[in-house]
């Protein structure tokens, strides 16, 4: 009897730890199944599909995000820079490189709960149609509290944040065998 109770407790603890832990871990950002990762960026590729896999379906049900249908576009989220460090509002970053083909795209800096962290009266987002580009057509977007040349998305506050890149009318991941070869890289330019 004495041996049975610790073994039974270990059984229950292991079952709950594995069952709940695995569920949280897989739904938080789809590390196991569901999410498509490229560099710092991740997307739930099947979130807009008519028959998503069970993990994507559970992820969509849990959240309050208004998903994009597959033909409408696809949204990528980055929470880390190219070095794998979490994005911090106290730091300045450059997003360098072209986005995958799309009719247009937008880029936003958001707090983990989804609200914009740009100052009041500053621009809330970047739009591919309103960007300054270098001679080779590449646009560099600077994100941070420090005034920066070219395209500057000003942010304020402290703590972690994420960058959302939404491609509208994108051919990537649209069910026609499209793949993504490159995504812009996120470089840390220093912290205050």
Partner 1 sequence: MIKTTLWIFGGILLGLIIHLTLILSLPQIVPNNVWSIFAKIGAPGELITIAKPKQQEANILRLDPELAYAVCRFDLSIGPGIINGKLPNDFWSVGVFDKNGVAIYSTTNRSGGGSSLDIGIFNPAQTRLLAEQKIELESGILIVKVPRDEVFIVIRLAVPHPAMWQRYKETLEKLHCSHVGQNQ
Q: Which is nearer to partner 1, 52 or 184 (CB)?
A: 52
Task: Choose between 31 and 190: whose C-beta lies nearer to partner 1.
Answer: 31
Distance in angstroms (rounded) separating the CA atoms of residues 69 and 154: 30
The residue ranges that bind partner 1 (CB under 8 A) are 3, 6-8, 10-20, 22-23, 26-27, 47-50, 52, 54-55, 57-58, 60-73, 103-104, 106, 108, 110, 113-122, 124-125, 127, 129, 164, 166, 168-169
Cβ distance to partner 1 smaller for residue 18 or 191: 18
- Cβ–Cβ under 8 Å, residues 81 and 96: no
Q: How far is the CB of 77 from partner 1 (least distance, A)?
A: 10
**Block residue for tokens 């871990």:** 25
Q: How far is the CB of 142 from partner 1 (least distance, A)?
A: 19
Cα distances (angstroms) measured from residue 189 to each of 153, 154, 162: 14, 14, 16
Q: Which is nearer to partner 1, 14 or 182 (CB)?
A: 14
**Nearest partner of 140 among 187, 180, 81, 172, judged by Cα:** 187
CB nearer to partner 1: give 69 or 178: 69
Tell me how far, at minimum, the Cβ of 19 lies from partner 1, in Å.
3
Shortest spacing between CB 105 and partner 1, in angstroms: 9
Identify which of residues 12 and 138 has a Cβ nearer to partner 1 in the complex. 12
Question: Up-side HSE of residue 161: CA atoms within 13 Å toward CB?
Answer: 25
Ordered DSSP codes for 72-140: TEEEEEE-B-TTSPBPBTTEEEEEESPPPS-SEEEEEEE-TTS-B-SPTTS--EEETTS----TTS--E
Q: How far is the CB of 18 from partner 1 (least distance, A)?
A: 3
Please report how close the Cβ of residue 132 comes to partner 1 at its closest, in angstroms.
Answer: 16
Distance CA 120, CA 155 (A): 10
* Cα separation of the two ends of the chain: 61
């Amino acid at each position: 009897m004495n041996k049975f109770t610790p073994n039974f407790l270990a059984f229950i603890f292991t079952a709950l730890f594995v069952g709940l832990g695995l569920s949280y871990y897989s739904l938080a950002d789809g590390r196991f199944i569901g999410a498509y990762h490229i560099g710092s960026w991740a997307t739930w590729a099947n979130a807009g599909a008519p028959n998503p896999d069970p993990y994507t379906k559970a992820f969509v049900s849990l959240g309050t995000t208004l998903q994009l249908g597959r033909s409408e576009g696809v949204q990528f989220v980055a929470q880390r820079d190219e070095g794998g460090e979490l994005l911090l509002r106290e730091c300045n970053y450059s997003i360098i490189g072209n986005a995958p083909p799309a009719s247009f795209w937008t880029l936003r800096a958001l707090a983990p709960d989804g609200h914009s962290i740009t100052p009041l009266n500053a621009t809330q987002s970047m739009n591919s149609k309103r960007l300054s580009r270098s001679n080779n057509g590449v646009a560099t977007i600077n994100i941070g509290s420090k005034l920066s040349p070219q395209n500057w998305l000003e942010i304020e506050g402290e703590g972690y944040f994420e960058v959302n890149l939404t491609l509208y009318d994108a051919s990537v991941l649209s069910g026609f065998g499209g793949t993504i070869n490159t995504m812009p890289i996120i470089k840390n330019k220093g912290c205050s």
